[in-house]
Amino acid sequence: MDQSQIAEVVERYLKGEMDSQEKQAFEEARKHNPELDQAVVEYHFFFEEMVRYGEVRRFKSNLYDTHHTLQENGEIKELQLTAGTRIINMWNKYRRVVTVAASIAGITTLFISGMITLFSPNRPIRDIEELRRKVSNLEKQSSNQTAEIKNFKSKIEPGADVKFGGTSFLIDQKGYLVTSAHVLKGANRIYVQSNDGTDYLAEIVKKDLNTDIAILKITDEEFKGNKQLPYGLGKSKNDLAEPVFTMGYPKDEIVYNEGYLSAKSGLQGDTMSFQITISANPGNSGGPVFNKNGEIIGILNARQASASGVVFATKAKYIQTLVDEIKNSDKEENIKVKNISSLKGISKPEQAKKVQDHIYMVKVVLS
Amino acid sequence: MWVTKNPHWVLKKRIVASQDQELAVFRAIGNNDKSAIESVYSENYALIQHFVVSNNGTEDDARDIFQEAMMVLYEKARQADFELTCQIRTYLYSVCRRLWLKKLQYARRIETQVENFDKLVPVEEDLEDHDKLTLQYQTMRTAMGKIGEPCKSLIEAFYVHRKNMHEIAGFFGYTNADNAKNQKYKCLVRLKKLFFAQYKNA
């Protein structure tokens, strides 16, 4: 008998898989063969350890899975020592009820708003100004000089009619960007320009006019992927008066602005967006709204024409919704959205420095 | 440094399971029952998380400490002569507290505890057992780490994931279950050698 045959016989013996005749013969052989006897003792111990090892491994993997599942369900979340944990617990407990109630409410709202749109006359005044930038002839001329210097980098064919500009930001370092859908209106070709002035060709992956969010993908061969994103989509609750900041391209270089969250709903109670008080200009459309921890909480899209400093931003959770839609419909686009931000607790200039390389100008070519 | 803020969750009334239910859950943990693990996990994680995070720990520390305490609970549940004399919650909390203080090496100096949770049971001996078992587990893990492929995957498939020889043969591309079985025993002989070599060193 060679070693592995011994192993097999001993395992069958120890597991009680032998019939009585075989067992008797084996025990007889064991009496006369001290080597076999030693093997049985060793394997007895070894198999016990092996079985325990297997069980501990399974238990550990169950623990790991459980943690993961509970985290996905939101039953485990990062602890905020100051926040009302009780409320969070209640939310967890009644989430299903709330979700059902909310969807019923949502459907009703959609129905009613549909009816209103159907029966009401055209909206009297459009008290809202989208923040995409018209690149006027005058501005173009003034920037011509700088453009010439930068020309070696620019891929946009000379004479192309760059009509509108906006801002976009990476949500996946592989080159997926988020911007406002209205920025891309009528686009024939889209370029995004990084903070260092390089243009990259981009394509629309999906846009949703309802939430005014679009997802772009940089298709340019020269784009080699960006370094890891320092920010993620915020999951925490947003509070009134919470300080926020944005970065964008109202002009040809990146501009930082800060303000605060002033209302939890947008124009005329639009719950898909919220209102912030910040100085924003055409060109800021599609820019990210960060909270003080550097989590993205929204996308700038419009300002109220009749008031100054009143700006609206689509809530960031709709980015996730759109990403999920893409995932479900198209297996090829593998967009991974981060939820963790590494900008917590560092100074504003540091935050801006880390963020700026991930914010791109959007240039829309109409012709 | 040792924050003991007023934790809202302890003020919340818990529906305390009857002792029988508690024991049934405890036994189920020993049988690696997934739903028991999930219920104990979801009922107690927040308590431990609060304790660790409010005592200079991170979210990751909280997870590690809690999972180690779950391991201790599992070991005790498998031990026939162990009797659970308190609630699972109290036991887990006592273990976590001990583990965490040990980790911080403040054990002698600081005896702080989360407010409103002053029930503690002695777990010193249980943790000594736990250290021994962990060492044994490590011994097998090191031996497994040395054996190389395909032996490692083959043995894990059989002993950890409890696949039968037919499944294993299909998965690893053996022509039939007997060939897979022969290979398994060859691997086992080598693993046994490695294991005992490791065991003598430890």
Q: Residues A287-300: pLDDT tens digits?
A: 999 998 889 999 98
Domain A128-365, CATH 1.20.1630.10 — does that match?
no
The three-point CA angle A128-A133-A137 to 5° equals: 130
Residues of chain B with CATH 1.10.10: 128-201
pLDDT at B72: 92
Q: How far is B200 from chain A (nearest CA, A)?
A: 13
Task: From chain B, pick out residues whose CB is under 8 angstroms from the CB of A59.
Answer: 32, 37, 70-71, 74
Whether chain A has a CB inside 8 Å of the CB on B182: the answer is yes
Q: Contact A3/A11 with Cβ under 8 angstroms?
A: no
Which architecture characterizes domain B8-122 according to CATH? Answer: Orthogonal Bundle (1.10)
First-to-final CA distance of chain A? 84
User: Among A217-231, B1-15, B107-121, B158-172, which stretch is predicted with the lowest mean pLDDT?
Assistant: B1-15
Residue in B34, B41, B162 nearest the CB of A70: B41
Query: How far is the first Cα of chain B from the last one, in angstroms, to the nearest whole number?
Result: 38
Residue type, B159: Y
Average pLDDT over residues A171-176: 89
Q: Position A6: which residue type?
A: I
What residue spans of A242-333 are helical by DSSP H? Answer: 317-329
B37: distance to nearest CA of chain A, Å?
7
User: The domain at B128-201 falls in which architecture?
Assistant: Orthogonal Bundle (1.10)
Residues 6+ apart with CB under 8 A from A83: A237
Among A327, A296, A326, residue whose Cα is nearest residue A314: A296
The CA angle A255-A257-A258, to the nearest 5 degrees, is 165
Q: Quick: pLDDT tens for A225-271.
A: 778 888 988 877 888 889 999 999 888 889 899 999 988 888 777 88
pLDDT computed for residue A127 by the predictor: 65
Residues A212 and A204: their CA atoms lie apart, in Å, by 13
Distance CA A184, CA A280 (A): 19
If you average pLDDT over residues A95-99, what whole number do you get? 72
Angle at A133 between CA A222 and CA A238, to 5 degrees: 90
| Contact residues, B window 72-131, toward A, CB-based 8 Å cutoff | 74
Q: Which residues of chain A neighbour B7 with C-beta distances below 8 Å?
A: 85
Q: What are the tokens at B35?
A: 């739903």
pLDDT band, residue A153 (cuts 50/70/90)? very low
- Smallest CA–CA distance from B186 into chain A, residue: A4
Pair A301, A129: CB distance under 8 Å: no
Mean pLDDT score, A84-88: 46
Which residues of chain A make contact with B195, given a CB cutoff of 8 A? 46, 49
With vertex at residue A35, the alpha carbon angle to CA A34 and CA A37, rounded to the nearest 5 degrees, is: 60
Q: Over pLDDT 70: what percentage of chain A? A: 83
Q: Which residues contact A243 (CB under 8 A, 6 or more apart)?
A: A258, A259, A260, A291, A292
Q: Structural domain boundaries of chain A?
A: 3-72, 128-365
Burial of A342 (0-12, 13-18, 19+ CB in 10 A): middle
A95: tokens are 């989430």
Q: What is the mean pLDDT of chain B?
A: 80
pLDDT of residue A270: 82
Lowest-confidence pick of A115-129, A156-170, B185-199:
A115-129
Res. B168: pLDDT tops 60: yes
Mean pLDDT of A40-54: 88
**Average pLDDT of the segment spanning B56-74:** 88
Q: Where are the alpha helices (DSSP H) in chain B?
A: 8-11, 19-30, 34-53, 59-78, 88-104, 124-147, 151-155, 165-172, 177-201
Residue A325 structure tokens: 């839609």
Mean pLDDT for chain A overall:
80
DSSP assignments along A179-237, one per residue: EEGGGGTT-SEEEEE-TTS-EEEEEEEEEETTTTEEEEEE--TT---PPPPS--B--SP
Report ipTM for this prediction: 0.81
Output the pLDDT for position B68: 92
- 8 Å CB contact between A167 and A248: yes
Q: What is the DSSP string of B52-99?
A: HHTTT--HHHHHHHHHHHHHHHHHHHH-TT----S-HHHHHHHHHHHH
CATH 1.10.1740 residue ranges of chain B are: 8-122
Count CA atoms within 13 Å of residue B86 on its CB side. Answer: 13
Percent of chain A with pLDDT over 90: 10
Calpha distance A130→A312 (Å, rounded)? 10
Rounded Cα distance between A73 and B140, Å, is 35
| Alpha-carbon span B152 to A146, nearest angstrom | 63
- Predicted confidence at residue B99, as pLDDT, reads 87
Tell me the per-residue pLDDT of A191-210, one tens digit each, with 9 for 90 and over.
899 888 888 889 888 888 88
d(CA B100, CA B57): 9
Query: Measured between alpha carbons, how far is residue A114 from residues A127, A207, B92 in Å?
Result: 20, 21, 54
A2-35 pLDDT tens trace: 788 888 888 888 888 888 888 888 888 888 888 8
Is B41 within 8 Å of A50 when comparing Cβ atoms? Answer: no
* Pick among B9, B10, B42 to test the A interface (most A CBs inside 10 A): B42
- The helix (run of H) or strand (run of E) holding residue A142 is helix A137-150
User: Mind listing the pLDDT tens digit for each residue in B98-154?
Assistant: 888 887 765 444 445 444 455 778 888 888 888 888 888 888 888 888 888 788 888
Element (H, E) at A146: helix A137-150
